[in-house]
Amino acid sequence: MIIIPARLASTRFPEKVLAEIGGVPMVVATARAVEKVDETVVATDSEKVADVCARYGVRAVMTSPEHQSGTDRIDEAATRLGLDASEIVLNVQADEPFIEPDVVETLKRLVERHRHDERTMICSLYKSVTTDAVKDANLVKVVTDESGYALYFSRAPIPYDRDGTGAAYKGHLGLYGFTRSMLSRFCTLPHAPLEHTEKLEQLRALSHGYRIAMAEVETKSFGIDTPEDLQKALQNR
């Protein structure tokens, strides 16, 4: 199942999940982009978002407004939906209306490969990015080991190319894959200092010694974090 966390509040872009993309609200555009991959549900804390979803025929479930992260929100949604412990749960951000279905399929297959590995808590994706792009703090970077597991995520440019030899930079995509049991275990972990410092919830898993399996994909999609991102997206359509 694909669960799209969609809170209405947003510091940098108020009510961005309802901003119009191609004639429909962003959260609806995102749901339509991925619904062929798996059953899709929006998890929200807003009656306004739920009403919009209903108007467009998108299933939505109400969740608490107290959640500090999208992953905590989809965990509650998974509980409300009664998902089995072995079911695959894909977290697709509501601000990814241009995400390609084959990218989400790649994430689903990655979870299938790691579903019985108790050391792996999260599966996720990255794409190759240019040197100029890594300077953007809104683009999260990841470094991986030789087996494809994440070593660290940061808003800073990593790795640091000390000798200027041309480092290969990896931009993290805000999609996460779990089994229901992986998701439940993640959400019971204590929050970690690095998670709060970088404002990156996936660092909670690494801080507690779990692995995050990564796969590379090619994508032209990008998350919409600011009104400027929205204008860029509309201009490129």
Average pLDDT of the residues in 195-217: 96
Q: DSSP for 196-219?
A: HHHT-TTHHHHHTT-EEEEEE---
Residue 119 has pLDDT above 80, yes or no: yes
Contacts of 72 by beta carbon, 8 Å cutoff, 6+ apart: 187
Local structure of residue 92 (DSSP, 8 states): E
For residue 222, what pLDDT is reported?
75
pTM of the entire predicted model: 0.92
Share of the chain above pLDDT 90, in %: 78
Q: Which of 168, 99, 94 is nearest to 133 (CA)?
A: 168
Q: Identify the burial level of 141 via C-beta atoms within 10 angstroms of its C-beta, where 0-12 means exposed, 13-18 middle and 19 or more buried.
A: buried
For residue 24, what pLDDT is reported?
94
Average pLDDT of the residues in 11-26: 86
For residue 69, what pLDDT is reported?
84
Q: Which helix (H) or strand (E) holds 156?
A: none
Q: Which helix (H) or strand (E) holds 225?
A: none
What is the third-level CATH fold of 2-222? Spore Coat Polysaccharide Biosynthesis Protein SpsA; Chain A (3.90.550)
| Cβ atoms 140, 206 nearer than 8 A | no
Q: CA-to-CA distance for 36 and 83, rounded, in angstroms?
A: 19
Q: Write down the domain spans for the chain.
A: 2-222
Instruction: Give the least confident one: 11-20, 56-65, 225-234.
Output: 225-234
Residue 159 preceded by cis peptide, ω within 30:
yes
Q: 169-179 and 88-92: which strand pairing?
A: antiparallel
| Cβ atoms 183, 118 nearer than 8 A | no
Average pLDDT of the residues in 96-108: 96
Average pLDDT of the residues in 206-226: 91
Q: Which of 236, 217, 198, 227 is nearest to 95 (CA)?
A: 227
